[in-house]
Amino acid sequence: MHDTKSLAGKAALVTGGSRGIGAAIVRRLASEGASVAFTYAAASAAADQLAAQVGASGGKAFAIRADSAEPAEVQAAVAQAAQRFGHLDILVNNAGIISNGSVDHYALADFDRIVAVNVRAVFVAVQAALAHMGEGGRIITTGSVAADRTAVAGSSAYSMSKAAVAGLTRGMARDLGPRGITVNVVQPGPTETDIVSDEAVRERLRPLMALGRMGSGDEVASLVAYLARPEASYITGAALTVDGGYLA
């Protein structure tokens, strides 16, 4: 666990927080003193285990079941977190899906779902959170370097969704700047999570990074935690890559 308690007294909600990068973010925010609610869509056992692990380490976390494709469930999750904590200081929009396919065969239903989860859910969560967030609030979204570089065929819809998030971030930063709320997007490169679990795929990806390796969820979480701290108050509207030099 991280020693610094720079987020003591802060209340956070992390969507898609039961595994991978999301779970690393939950652990990191809790280790810095924040009380953390996080959503999960189906992995109830993993969510319960994560909450228990955070509690055993001296942190505070609880899980909320919510499908980010359903606006009402996202809104209800925000309301539940805000009711539990009395306020909301940090919103991390981490929930996301990958659905690849060539544009000539990509199903419209798959297109609609990737937009619903990766883009619309961000907008819905932010709208809902603002009713409970005051000056000094932090809104952070997990995007992707795919917003800037589509290196793999079949990634058109996914890349579009992450580019949309980057544009949405810039616009919201303008809207919310006068309220003292910062809005940023963190753009990970290839990261060793269960989304990229095939070792053969990882071997192909590693040489693409300047550092010759993929990142870890903890390394992404460290940037999210920095943006959540008071010291990051002058950073807003930014798309910050954590990619080992993938875009270099």
- Considering only residues 69 and 150, tell me which one the structure prediction assigns the higher pLDDT: 69
- Helix 108-115 / helix 156-176 crossing angle, nearest 10 deg: 30
- Main-chain dihedrals φ then ψ at residue 230, nearest 5 degrees: -60, -30
Domain CATH for 206: 3.40.50.720
Structure tokens given for 58: 């001296």
Q: Confidence band (pLDDT; 50, 70, 90) for 203?
A: confident
Compute the distance between CA of residue 108 and CA of residue 247 in angstroms, rounded to an integer: 30
Tens-place pLDDT, residues 207-238: 888 899 988 999 999 999 999 999 999 999 99
- Say if residues 75 and 128 touch (Cβ distance below 8 Å): yes
- Say if residues 154 and 117 touch (Cβ distance below 8 Å): no
The sign of the dihedral angle between the CA atoms of 132, 129, 74, 46 is: negative
- Say if residues 177 and 233 touch (Cβ distance below 8 Å): no
Tens-place pLDDT, residues 154-201: 999 999 999 999 999 999 999 999 999 999 999 999 888 776 667 777
2 located within any domain: no
**How confident is the model over 30-51, as a mean pLDDT?**
96
57 located within any domain: yes
153 located within any domain: yes
Which pLDDT does position 2 carry in this prediction?
Answer: 52
248 located within any domain: no
Unique residue bearing structure tokens 């002058």: 234
Q: Hey, how many other C-beta atoms are within 10 angstroms of the C-beta on 157?
A: 21
Which pLDDT does position 26 carry in this prediction?
Answer: 98
DSSP state of 36: E
- Say if residues 183 and 236 touch (Cβ distance below 8 Å): yes
**Mean pLDDT computed over every residue of the chain:** 94
Q: Which among 74, 71, 54 has a CA at the least distance from the CA of 62? A: 54
Which pLDDT does position 71 carry in this prediction?
Answer: 98
Which pLDDT does position 197 carry in this prediction?
Answer: 66
5 located within any domain: no
Residue 226 among the catalytic residues: no
4 located within any domain: no
**How confident is the model over 35-45, as a mean pLDDT?**
95
Unique residue bearing structure tokens 């798309």: 239
* Catalytic pick among 40, 106, 158, 234: 158
Enter the pTM of the model.
0.94
Domain count within the chain: 1
Which pLDDT does position 201 carry in this prediction?
Answer: 76
What is the Cα 123 distance to its own chain's centre? 13
Which of 59-73, 127-141, 194-208 is predicted least confidently? 194-208
SS3 11: strand
Domain that holds residue 22: 11-242
Cα 164–Cα 170–Cα 171 angle in degrees, nearest 5: 90
- Say if residues 141 and 92 touch (Cβ distance below 8 Å): yes
Q: Hey, how many other C-beta atoms are within 10 angstroms of the C-beta on 26?
A: 31
6 located within any domain: no
78 located within any domain: yes
pLDDT at 1 over 60: no
What's the Cα-to-Cα distance from 171 to each of 71, 209, 218, rounded to whole Å?
A: 21, 30, 28
Q: Confidence band (pLDDT; 50, 70, 90) for 204?
A: confident
